[in-house]
């Protein structure tokens, strides 16, 4: 292949890519529309390939407009198209569409509604200002919404509910992967404090899988006030920068990525104070960025998460193994091991 041919192909690829940027928001907004209409729910419940006419009737939609939305989602492999007979084709579920079912076991619907809602979307307009400024001033989220993420959630019950449900979605997927991928982490752990445990979704799955564990769901007072209650879980409100309830192990899932290194070290030192020196440990579930893998799809998701943290939380970031090692050692943890458990999450066990 001559140089000229390579250049033309690269230019053609660049042109396709630029249109993907021009219209990048279409993907998230079509998926948001599909969730709001309940398309994945109706197709899944139908049980066999569903013709457009029946889908339109069930959703009370205008068929030609629904057809255009469905055509896009079939192209994006959210739904499949299968023949029903010689003349008609129907839509079927896929593993991806099942992630969009509202209230489904593996639903990510609330997370998509959170990120495509006005408070989070408005954030992105001040990303360039954030990159330009020096020091840790205020996050784009705060510029757009007048309050940092946690204060905004406290003051806006609807946003708070959506945020907690979104975290619950992620927790269900990730905790199942943790239980399957490294159950040995919970051997001998009689009490577990979930630091920043949100509405308690993660802990309720953990105590169900490992019934010998007594759980403490620890989060800000306004969060635990609306958390589910159960016999094996105590909800405790407080501030993890001040003190953390005592337990054999502290569990932190997607909490440390909201804070900078200094803040993480403060939280981890509080965790150390909360666990026994001899047999205590912290269990961290987070992304571990692999710098040399940024070209692959999983690496790309890690970098998108990192950018979202810069926009939405003030000082949050995703970390490489070297960066995790730094914050753990600075907090007094001497040994740790890391195990990937799903697409973008790993479990880090760290010992004093
Ligand atoms: C990104 S969410 C993660 C929730 C949960 N661990 C999960 O993965 O689903 C971070 C959590 O940290 C909590 N949080 C923030 N600041 C806190 C503080 N100072 N003390 C305790 N929890 C805090 C938030 O309320 C929120 O529930």
The string of DSSP codes covering 291-341 is: GGGTTSHHHHHHHHHHHHHHHHSSS---EEHHHHHHHHHHTT--EEEEEEE
d(CA 83, CA 90): 6
- Residue 303, CA distances (Å) to 20, 104, 197, 288 in order: 18, 27, 24, 10
- pLDDT tens digits, one per residue of 274-333: 999 988 999 999 999 887 665 677 778 888 999 999 899 878 999 999 999 999 999 999
pLDDT at 247 over 80: yes
Cβ–ligand 1 distance for 212 under 6 Å, the answer no
Q: Which of 98, 119, 148 is the last residue before a domain boundary?
A: 98
Ligand 1 in reach of 241 Cβ (< 6 A)? yes
Residue pLDDT, tens place only, 119-172:
999 999 988 888 888 766 788 999 999 999 999 999 999 999 999 899 989 999
Mutation choice for ligand 1 from 166, 217, 255, 309, CB with most ligand atoms inside 8 A: 255
Q: Are residues 186 and 276 in the same domain?
A: yes
Select from 241, 205, 236 the least CA-distant residue to 223: 236
Highest-confidence segment of 49-63, 225-239, 302-316:
49-63
CB crowding 1-18: b at 16 or more within 10 Å, else e: eeeeeeeeeeeeeeeeee
Q: Does any domain span residue 160?
A: no
List pLDDT tens digits, range 25-45: 999 999 999 999 999 999 999
Place of tokens 């939380």: 313
What span, in angstroms and rounded, lies between the C-alpha atoms of 171 and 157?
A: 20
**Interface predicted TM-score (ipTM):** 0.99
C-alpha 41/C-alpha 16 separation (Å) is 32
pLDDT greater at residue 313 or residue 343: 313
Residue 143 in any domain: the answer is no
Same domain, 74 and 193: no
CATH of the domain at 291: 3.40.50.150
- Report the interhelical angle of 25-37 vs 63-75 (nearest 10°): 120
Of 252, 257, 197, which is closest to residue 223 (Cα–Cα)? 197
Domain residue limits at 202? 170-351
Residue 234 within a domain: yes
SS3 69: helix
User: In this structure, is residue 72 part of a structural domain?
Assistant: yes
pTM assigned to the model: 0.89
Q: Which residues are catalytic?
A: 257
**Of all residues in the chain, what percent are helix, strand and coil, respectively (each to 5)?**
55, 15, 30
Domain count for the chain, please give it: 2
Q: Compute the distance from residue 197 Cα to the ligand 1 centre, in Å.
A: 6
- Which domain-ending residue is among 73, 98, 123? 98
- Distance in Å, CA 155 to ligand 1 centroid: 16
170's enclosing H/E stretch is helix 157-181
């Amino acid at each position: 292949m001559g140089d000229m041919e390579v250049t033309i192909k690269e230019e053609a690829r660049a042109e396709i890519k630029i249109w993907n940027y021009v219209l990048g928001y279409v993907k998230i907004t079509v998926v948001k529309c599909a969730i709001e209409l309940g398309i994945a729910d109706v197709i899944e419940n139908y049980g066999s390939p569903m013709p457009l006419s029946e889908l339109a009737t069930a959703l009370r939609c205008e068929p030609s407009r629904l057809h255009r939305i469905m055509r896009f989602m079939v192209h994006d492999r959210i739904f499949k198209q299968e023949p029903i007979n010689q003349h008609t084709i129907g839509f079927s579920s896929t593993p991806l569409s099942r992630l969009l079912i509202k209230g489904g076991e593996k639903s990510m619907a609330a997370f998509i509604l959170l990120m495509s809602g006005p408070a989070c979307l408005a954030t992105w307009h001040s990303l360039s200002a954030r990159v330009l400024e020096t020091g840790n001033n205020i996050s784009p989220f705060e510029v757009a919404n007048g309050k940092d993420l946690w204060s905004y959630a406290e003051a806006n019950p609807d946003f708070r509910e959506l945020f907690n449900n979104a975290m619950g979605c992620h927790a269900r997927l990730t905790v199942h992967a943790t239980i399957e991928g490294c159950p040995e982490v919970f051997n001998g752990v009689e009490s577990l404090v979930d630091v920043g445990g949100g509405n308690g979704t993660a802990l309720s799955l953990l105590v169900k899988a490992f019934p010998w564990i007594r759980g403490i769901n620890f989060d800000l007072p306004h969060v635990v006030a609306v958390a589910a209650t159960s016999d094996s879980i105590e909800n405790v409100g407080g501030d993890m920068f001040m003190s953390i309830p005592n337990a054999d192990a502290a569990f932190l899932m997607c909490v440390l990525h909201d804070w900078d290194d200094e803040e993480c070290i403060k939280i981890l030192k509080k965790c150390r104070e909360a666990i026994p020196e001899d047999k205590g440990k912290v269990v961290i579930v987070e992304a571990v960025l692999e710098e040399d893998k940024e070209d692959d799809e999983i690496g790309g998701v890690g970098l998108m998460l990192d950018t979202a943290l810069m926009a939405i939380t003030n000082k949050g970031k995703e970390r490489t193994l070297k960066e995790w090692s730094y914050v753990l050692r600075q907090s007094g943890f001497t040994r740790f091991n890391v195990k990937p458990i799903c697409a973008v999450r790993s479990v880090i066990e760290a010992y004093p």
